[in-house]
Amino acid sequence: MTTNPVPPQPHRISRRGLVAGGLGLLAAAGGGSAWALDRYVLDHVEVSGASQLAAQNVVAAEADGTGTATASSYASDTATIKIRSVATGSGDDKVTYYVADVQVTDATIVKSAFAEDRFGENIIANPSEIAASVGAVLAINGDYYGFRDTGIVIRNGVTFRDSGARQGLALYADGSMRLYDETTTSAGELIEDGVWNTLSFGPGLVQDGAVIAGIDRIEVDTNFGNHSIQGQQPRTGIGIVDGNHLLFVVVDGRSKGYSRGVTMPEFAQIFTDLGAQVAYNLDGGGSSAMVFQDRLVNNPLGKGRERGTSDILYVAG
């Protein structure tokens, strides 16, 4: 295993033109595709000014120190972040991934932000754009909540959706993290228990420091346009070592000679090797992105271009 410095910033390309092109293709397909256009392309804004709404519910005040940063690390009164890249294997079996080791003094500086600061379906922006809009020090893509209309969505202490459907992840204001069954609880109960953010994608990867059995057979969605989350894929995930000590991991993939991607069990093993006690899989594929100090850290699909998504998870500066 070798470690390498964080690579220079790749070129960024907006996907707004691509979305517009897709809209035209669906429209040309005729009335039979109108439902797909409405469900997967057209904006459906449910809440505007979402970050301002959530800001009213901050549990603990943040220190306003400026912090210091280098090419691969950051330190302030509230957070310490260290980023490294790891390469294993060679040739077509090479895997490249990025690890952000995050320690915070206040769990509520680990936040979520929505594309265009609006909650709803099919609202997207590049992760770096969302990160810049909220002054994030570090960010990864989230669970792409806007692709679906189910799941419990609690962000920064505010409930945006309460429709349990799958295994979720709960991040608590006390700095802990737990896997849970969305169908056996409610958003209100979770907030009462101290949940600060939830993520709804999955599956859970690690429990009690061990890889969870059977994760190589789980599908998280069956709706139109969903691709299998199995196989060797680019991945994004989050884990916890202990209280207020988090791991953000992004694996690049689908790029021969650079990174093939990893299976779900391989992804879980990365987390256990890093000491994670709990870990959870987020949206992956071309959406997988890590942004640090306004730079795209990883190389999505080997092309250096981000893909629009509906949300990010980030560490506030």
Residue 288 falls within a domain, yes or no? yes
Phi, psi of 216, deg, nearest 5: -80, 5
The pLDDT score that the predictor gives to residue 221 is 73
Residue 225 falls within a domain, yes or no? yes
CA distance 266 to 248: 16
Q: Which residues have C-beta within 8 Å of that of residue 18, sequence separation ≥ 6?
A: none
CA distance 105 to 107: 7
CB atoms within 10 A of CB 53: 17
CB atoms within 10 A of CB 255: 17
β 290-292/295-296 pair status: antiparallel
Domain count, the chain: 1
Q: Which residues have C-beta within 8 Å of that of residue 90, sequence separation ≥ 6?
A: none
Residue 151 falls within a domain, yes or no? yes
Task: Quick: pLDDT tens for 162-173.
Answer: 999 999 999 999
- Its domain, for residue 236, covers 2-12+47-316
Alpha-carbon torsion angle 50, 221, 230, 272, nearest 10:
50
CB atoms within 10 A of CB 16: 12
The answer to whether 287 touches 144, Cβ cutoff 8 Å, is: yes
The answer to whether 310 touches 144, Cβ cutoff 8 Å, is: yes
Task: Quick: pLDDT tens for 110-132.
Answer: 999 999 999 999 999 999 999 99
Task: Quick: pLDDT tens for 55-95.
Answer: 333 322 233 335 666 669 999 999 999 999 999 999 999 99
Residue 39 falls within a domain, yes or no? no
Residue 198 falls within a domain, yes or no? yes
Residue among 308, 282, 246, 292 nearest 142 (CA): 282
Residue 42 falls within a domain, yes or no? no
What is the CA 74 to chain-centroid distance, rounded?
20
Task: Supply the pTM of this predicted model.
Answer: 0.81
Task: Quick: pLDDT tens for 5-63.
Answer: 443 333 333 333 333 333 333 333 444 444 344 443 444 556 756 755 543 333 222 33
Which residue do the tokens 């640090």 mark?
A: 292
Residue 30 falls within a domain, yes or no? no
What is the CA 82 to chain-centroid distance, rounded?
18
Q: Which residues have C-beta within 8 Å of that of residue 192, sequence separation ≥ 6?
A: none
Task: Quick: pLDDT tens for 245-301.
Answer: 999 999 999 999 999 999 999 999 999 999 999 999 999 999 999 999 999 999 999
Residue 268 falls within a domain, yes or no? yes
